[in-house]
Each structure stands twice: as C-alpha cells, then as structure tokens.
Structure 1
Amino acid sequence: MSAPLVALRGLTVDFENGGRMSRAVDGVDLEIAPGEALGIVGESGSGKSVTWLAALGLLPAKARVAGSVRLEKQELIGVPARVLEDVRGKRIAMIFQDPSSCLNPVHRIGWQLVEALRLHRGLHGKAAEAEALRLLDQVGIADARRRLQDYPHLLSGGLNQRVMIAMALAGQPDLLVADEPTTALDATIQAQILALLGSTRRDTGMALILISHDLGVVAENVDRVAVMYAGRLVEEAPGTDLFGAARHPYTQGLLAALPSLIGPRRRLAAIPGTVPDPWNVPAGCRFAPRCPVAEMRCTNVPPPARSVGFRHVATCHRQVEAGYSVWSLPQALPQAAE
C-alpha cells in the first residue's frame, strides 16, 4: 500500500460547556490514501463533521484539539494559521452541508469563484474568468457565463451545491471532504451530485471523504467505510466487507434498519435509545446501553480494536462471526443499561 495522504492519530476534540469539558471526538485513528474514497457514517452527534473541521483548524477558539493530523509529512495540529491557510482549499478542500449559508449573499457567483482562483492558484483577469467558466461547465451548470453574474439566492439548492463543488475544485486539491453534500436535495439531484463527485475523482485522481448518515449513498460511492459512534471509531472496513459482514453491533443495527428491495418482507430493527451526550458518556463501551448483547465488562471497560479481517477492524469485546447479526435475535433488548 502507498503511504497515506492524510493520517489522523489519537485525535481528540473537547468543548467547554457550562464550566465542564465535553469530549466530542475521542482518540480517532484514521488514514486515507491518495485517490481513495472513504465514507464516514454514523448518527447525528457521532463526531463525523467535527473530526474533519478539527483537522482543518476550522473549529472555534474555545475548542481544544489534541493528537496528530499529518498531510503527508506536514503536521497540521498546532501550526500557525498561515500554514493552514496554505493547506485549506489548495491541498484539502471541504464542501459543507448547507451551500446557501456558505456562499456570500452579497457577491455574485463569479466574484466568489474568481476569488478562490486568485487565492489558491494566483489567477487574475481573463485567465481567472476563463477558468471559472471551465469549472462551472465541469460541474454541469448550463449557460455558465450568465450564471457567473447571478447571486446565490437566484439559484436552486442543487445549483448552489454545484457552485460549492466548483469552488472546492478551484484549488485542484489532493483531498476533497464532502460533508453531507446531498442534504435537502431531491433524489434526482442527489444522484447527479454524487455522479459528479465520482467522475471528478476519477478524472483528477484526488482522494474523497464522503461524510453521510445515508448508508445507501456511502455504499455506492466509496472504497472503504469508517463507522463512528459517540466520538469514537467503532468499525472500519472495505465497503464490500462492511456491508456484507459487519462485525460491530452498532454497524449491524444501522444495516438492520434498512429496508431490503429483494426477498421476503421483514420487520426492520430499530436501535433503542439515543447517542449519549458528550459530557455523559459510559465509562466502557459507549454503545453498551443500547447494545442487545452487552456484557458486564462492556459497561466499565473500553473495548479494544480487533482485527477481524483484511483491513477490517471492529472495536468490540465480542468476536461476532461474519454473516451473523445480533439484531436478528428475538431477545435483542438493551439489558446492559439496567
């Protein structure tokens, strides 16, 4: 395997909340190789977005970030702001969840796109305008020259998302972080945006991180999947292995909640309870209060990360066999919380 493009080691993020510290991300170890597509899934509040906002130095000053984030040989945690400014947009770009809140409403689309080209590639004048037109064509926006004169409020959500992708690609990044890029878009536009990200990755060779709570979207668009729960990484595997033979009870629960399009109808399994608050997480496995097969040690001993296959790691005390789901048990009730 090639050396990782970006490597996270022991990344932690703490926020102060009413005089107490809340840990939103707790010891995340993760790598992404050049040209690879990595999906990160989990319920809301799992720490998916915070992990990459912390890696890029985009969290507020009150956040305490520790650990290591290395872009090839360059450390990004604790470096001066000017170093991060050279990385953001040029080496690593990010597409945020809500494009309408990220685009400046008082500036035209063309002005914002040209500004990105000036900052990241030093283009000015006619050269910048020509490249802006090319980028809008690349992301599938018709009548690009006219659209350069539009304000964000004149565009639909899907077009604004395409503009955000064009701005992210303006710096020709090595890694694109797409944070819920299809939120609030209808199914047809979602498919178009995802196809655009896939074709761009193939054409440019950039790596892609797709953050989503939609397992179907992730399954069709990534090579490898990382599952997060309550700030921790609980399972990591190639996409085919994870969706075909998930080993962690939480991952199995997410998959059991998905309807099947083939075979006999079956009752969907719902994971009881909610993700714990960052300031009130269990001492052991954070999923134990909701797990149907939790044992006494799960409540007070943090589980180890075990290798259960090729590049397949699950953080669980139990050795769940491939092809077996704990949510298929009739007695699957959260007994560990009692």
Structure 2
Amino acid sequence: MTAPLVAVRDLTVDFAGGAQASRAVDGVSLDIAPGEALGIVGESGSGKSVTWLAALGLLPTKARVTGSVRIEGKELVGAARRDLEQVRGKRIAMIFQDPSSCLNPVHRIGRQLVEALGLHRGLTGRAAEAETLRLLDQVGIADARRRLMDYPHLLSGGLNQRVMIAMALAGEPDLLVADEPTTALDATIQAQILALLGSIRRDTGMALILISHDLGVVAENVDRVAVMYAGRLVEEAPGADLFGAARHPYTQGLLAALPTLTGPRRRLAAIPGTVPEPGRVPVGCRFAPRCPVAETKCATVPPPSRLVGFRHAAACHRRLEPGASAWNQPQAAE
C-alpha cells in the first residue's frame, strides 16, 4: 500500500457558543493517497468544508481543533502560523464555490496571480509574468495577456473560477481541495471546470478532494467517496462500490433521491427531517431519528465503523447485504 499523502486522525472541531460548545466535526479519520481523487458528500451542515478548513488552520479563534492532520508526516493541527504558511497554497491548495468572494475586487487578475507566484515559488518580474500567462492558458482562458489587466467584476463566474484554479495551481500543490467549485455555474460551464480539474490531475499527478452535494458530479470524477453526516464519517468506499452497493441507510437515502435516466418514471424517495444542529445531536447514531430501520440501541449507542467489503467501511449497527436497501422502492408514477 502507498503511504498516504495526507492522514487525518480523529479530527474534532468544537465551536464555543455561550455555556455549551457545538461540535461540528466529530472524530473524522481519512487517508488521501498521492494522485488520488476523493469525493466528500453529505447534506449542508454535515461538516464537509469545516473538516478541511480546520486541517489548514483557517477557522476563527473560537474554534477548538483536536486530533491530527499530517502531510507526509508533518503535523498541521496546532502548528505555528509560519509552518502552516509553508503548506497552504504550496502543498495543499483550496478553491471555493464563490470565486467572486475570494478574489480581491480592487486588484487586477494579473497582480493577484503574480503575488501568488511570488509567495509560493519566489518568481518575480518577467519570469512571474510568463508563468502567469502559462497558468491562464492551462486553465483555458483565451487571450490571456489581455485578461491580466481585467478586474474580477469584468469576468464571468466561469472565468473567475478558472482564475481561482490558476491561483491554486500557482504553488504546484500536491493536493487540491475543491469545495463546491461548480455550484454557482451553469451546467455547460460546470462540465468544463470538472473536465479541467481532471485534465490537470492527469498532467500533474496532483491529488484532489472534491466536496459536493451533487452525487452525479462525484460519481464521474473521483476514485473513492466518503459520506459525512452531522459531523461524522458514516460510509467510505471506492466509487463503484458505494454507488453500486451502499451499506449505510443515509447513503442509500441519498441515492434513492436521485432520478433515473432509464425505465419508468418513479416518485423520488425523500429523507424526512433535517440534519441536526451541531449542539443538538442525538446521543447514539446521529441519523437514527431519520432512519427507517433504526433499532432501539441506535438511539443510545454510537455505531462503530466496520469493514463491510474491500476498502468499504460503514458506521451502522445493522448488517445490510449488498444490493439491499433500507428505503422502500418508490412506486411507478402514473
């Protein structure tokens, strides 16, 4: 087995709020191999983004982060700011779903890219300008030299997202964390951005973490999938195994809510209720109040994560067989 590029162990994030802290991430453990593409899915409030903001030390001071995040053995949790600055952008880069909020509106695109190259690779002058043009060309921006003089508000959402990807690539990172990178884009531009990320991965050998609500996007663009719910990792498996034989009732519920492209029209199954707030999670299995097959002990005993197949782990008390579903099949629509 290849040694992991990034190893996350028992990562926990608490936010102080009045007399009681709220736990947003609870004991998450993950490995990311060099060059691997990992998808992280789950409803809003599941802790997907907070996990990686915590790993990079980007949370506010009211957040208390414990556990371990190591990149090739180097600990990031509790590391000094100077050490983290050597990792952010250079070893691990992150792009967000709203590029307009991440780009500085009062500086031209070229200046922001040159600044990133200077910080991460020490490039200045003509060398920095030449590399900036190369990066813009790599991410598919036409007439790159003219675009260097544009401000972010002069570019479309798709072009701004390409600029953000170019800035992330400026440090030649080993891992790119893409947090809902296509949510605000139309379907055509979304497909282009995802194809671009896949092409860059193949060309550079960079690892990718794709955080998304869209299971279809994840299915087509990653090697392995991790499912989070209410701050915990509930299922993890290679993509084909997870989409073909999900074992956790929550994952099965997410898949049951997807429309099919073939066969008769059917009513989609919906998971009742909502994700619990961080300060009001159930004592046992956090999905138990919404689970159609919950047992008595689910309300009081947290289920341990256990192997249910090759590299396939699920945190559930029940032993669902491959292909079985906790959700009733929806009836055909008339």
Normalised-by-shorter TM-score class: over 0.9
Corresponding letter in the other structure for 2:277: D
Q: Paired residue for 1:295?
A: 295
Measured in 2, the distance between the counterparts of 1:310 and 1:199 equals: 28
Corresponding letter in the other structure for 2:25: V
1:241-263 CA deviation, whole Å, 9 max, x = no partner? 00000000000000000000012
Measured in 1, the distance between the counterparts of 2:118 and 2:277 equals: 42
Is it true that 1:180 corresponds to 2:185 in the alignment? no
Q: Secondary structure at the match of 2:146?
A: helix
Q: Paired residue for 1:333?
A: none
Q: Paired residue for 2:279?
A: 279
Runs of 4+ with >6 A deviation: none
Corresponding letter in the other structure for 1:129: E
**How far is 1:97 from its partner?**
1.6
TM-score of the aligned structures, taking structure 1 as reference length: 0.97
1:80-122 CA deviation, whole Å, 9 max, x = no partner? 0000000000000000121000000000000000000000000
1:136-176 CA deviation, whole Å, 9 max, x = no partner? 00000000000000000000000000000000000000000
Q: Paired residue for 1:231?
A: 231
Q: Paired residue for 1:307?
A: 307
Q: Paired residue for 2:40?
A: 40
Measured in 1, the distance between the counterparts of 2:234 and 2:182 equals: 25
Measured in 1, the distance between the counterparts of 2:273 and 2:18 equals: 25
- List gaps (5 residues or longer) in structure 1: 331-338
Q: Paired residue for 1:3?
A: 3
Q: Paired residue for 1:258?
A: 258
1:228-274 CA deviation, whole Å, 9 max, x = no partner? 00000000000000000000000000000000001222221000000
Q: Paired residue for 1:157?
A: 157
**How far is 1:329 from its partner?**
6.0
Q: Within 5 Å, which residues of 2 pair with 1:59-78?
A: 59-78=59-78
CA RMSD of aligned residues (A): 0.7
Corresponding letter in the other structure for 1:234: V
- List gaps (5 residues or longer) in structure 2: none
Measured in 2, the distance between the counterparts of 1:10 and 1:219 equals: 26
- 2:105, 2:151 within 8 Å by CA — same for their partners in 1? yes
Measured in 2, the distance between the counterparts of 1:270 and 1:47 equals: 21
Q: Paired residue for 1:146?
A: 146
Q: Paired residue for 1:103?
A: 103
Q: Secondary structure at the match of 2:268?
A: coil
Aligned pair count reads 330
Q: Secondary structure at the match of 1:326?
A: coil
Corresponding letter in the other structure for 1:94: M
Measured in 2, the distance between the counterparts of 1:243 and 1:265 equals: 20
1:263-311 CA deviation, whole Å, 9 max, x = no partner? 2222210000000010000000000000000000000000011100000
- 2:94, 2:179 within 8 Å by CA — same for their partners in 1? yes
Measured in 1, the distance between the counterparts of 2:25 and 2:57 equals: 14
Q: Secondary structure at the match of 2:13?
A: strand
Q: Secondary structure at the match of 2:123?
A: coil
Measured in 1, the distance between the counterparts of 2:243 and 2:263 equals: 17
- 2:97, 2:184 within 8 Å by CA — same for their partners in 1? no
Measured in 2, the distance between the counterparts of 1:53 and 1:262 equals: 39
